[in-house]
Amino acid sequence: MAADLCLVVHQAVNAVVAQAAMRHVQITQHLPDRAPAMLDGQQIQSVVTTLLENAIRFSPPQAPVVVSVQCDDAHVSLTVTDHGPGIAPDVLSQLGEAFVHGDIAHHTTGHG
């Protein structure tokens, strides 16, 4: 189904704005006017919300979180950038595998 990724991102940001304010994290959006794509808006909103929640949770206070959407005639991309500790490089290639996790001692809650 078709949806506008920019609208999906706005809705996800609205869902986490209170959490961001509590952590003194500012969310900046870099979005085109529209980014139409064939996607399930509710599912992608859930994914973007989770990415933003993790970015807010693991970023230092006062650090910015940036969500960007870029599109051309054939592709749409979404990027969430934060200043958290990140994921160990040796675990990155296994992220899509079920029940795989790396050293998450610095993580106490979250989805990533």
pLDDT band at residue 68 using 50, 70 and 90 as cut-offs: very high
Counting Cβ atoms within 10 Å, is residue 69 exposed (0-12), middle (13-18) or buried (19+)?
A: buried
Please, are residues 69 and 35 in contact by the beta-carbon 8 Å criterion? yes
Judge whether residue 105 has pLDDT over 50: no
What percentage of the chain exceeds 90 in pLDDT? 68
- 2-92 folds as Heat Shock Protein 90 (3.30.565)
Higher pLDDT, 97 or 26: 26
pLDDT band at residue 8 using 50, 70 and 90 as cut-offs: very high
Amino acid at the residue 27: I
Beta strands in 5-112 (DSSP E): 26-30, 36-38, 64-71, 76-81
Higher pLDDT, 111 or 60: 60
Instruction: Output the pTM of the full model.
Output: 0.81
Average pLDDT over residues 12-32: 96
Chain center to CA of 58: 12
